[in-house]
Structure 1
Amino acid sequence: MPARAPKKNLPALRGAGERVLLRLKTRGAARAADISLALGISAEAVRQSLVKLEEEGLVTVTTEPPQGVGRPTQRWSLTAAGHERFPNAHAELTVQLLDSVRTVLGKGALDRLIDARESQMRATYEQALAGAADLNERVARLVELRAREGYMAEYWREDDSFLLVENHCPICVAATVCQGLCRSELHTFRAVLEADVQRVEHIVDGARRCAYRITPGAARSRKIRKKG
């Protein structure tokens, strides 16, 4: 469990239904009672919102058998349509452009395009993180950047490392057909944070979110060994 509550940079949504959707997006499947407690709204308001969202095809419910004596547990989660309610960075057009580059110009041209994007992203992030006092501040600034870009990013500390979580991927469709985009983002994180960064959950592989474990000092140690 996290040592402390996550630092949030999530969009403000209106209405109980939108708040329920956002809760399911950022925290995964949950019971109606837990959603009510987390959002501070009545159980009846949550129930009505879930029923309406289910009718719209945005959420689905799974019934789990009781553990011992008691009633079955119902857990609500987003459907594919529910996930699509969140921004996806002109997914169809992006995929078409990537396919066109690969088909017309070849894989080498696509790789160069990804490298150029990585260089631009790294320069932008390095400028934003310049002057950060320590790894904690670098992570906080990176999370703020990613949240503004639509990744619903947050982070918290776990023992001697950090966990950076992105509850949404606005380029998910493009990344699915071109996983070089995901690799370049991982390279960028390692460079600008000056730390070891390992992806431990990946939306493209079917996870609910992308998550990165960040360990201080490891990247610098590898560079020193390589030079030696």
Structure 2
Amino acid sequence: MTRTAIVTGAARGISAATARRLAADGNAVAVLDLEAGQCAATVAAITDAGGRAIAVGANVADARAVTEAVAHVEAELGAPTILVNNAGIIRDNLLFKMTEDDWDSVLSVHLRGAFLMSRAVQAHQVAAGWGRIVNLSSTSALGNRGQANYAAAKAGMQGFTKTLAIELGRFGVTANAIAPGFIVTDMTRATAERVGVGFEDFIAQNAKEIPVGRAGYPEDIAAAASFFCSEEAGFVSGQVLYVAGGPRA
């Protein structure tokens, strides 16, 4: 059965890999990011491989934009019953340097965005009697220097996920979270630049601290999302899976 998935923040990185993987699994995929044009490469990768995808531009922290985006997806691909919430930003700084805008913008995109998207999509999931929600958390939820805002948002995603699992389970909807460790993306490249370290050296330094001895890649997270979104994962809900190469990564 072909289902429709929405993946937020899917112009690049983890979400782009997840969108490609869900399409390879046989789903139609709405590739959503702030600007539709930013999603062109991800959509092309899916369609070139024989899949079905559309680009959708929306600010996930804007309630009206979310409502319109989900309606657009329904009209173009069918009612969405799979949702992966990964839209996010970073505004790293030590607490005494962090501004109110640094705090508010990060919490808004991550948590308000996941709330608005989930609220909009759950109506279709409940109507279908089937649904999958996957929220992206992070190992930073355990605490990370210079990321009070991001850590709070990612810890909040875990509580949000567990509550969705309780509320929506009776309607055939599961909700799970993935907490990635060090993943090679544009975001980690930007972090390396900010701290003044070459990206390859930055990767090598982090890999030394990971029990499996390597950095993670977006495809590692996409594989976990694929499982959570599958038919076989129907008895798995409210879980937080740390995909980090080891328990302390």
Larger radius of gyration: 1
Q: What is the TM-score when the length of structure 2 is the normalising length?
A: 0.29
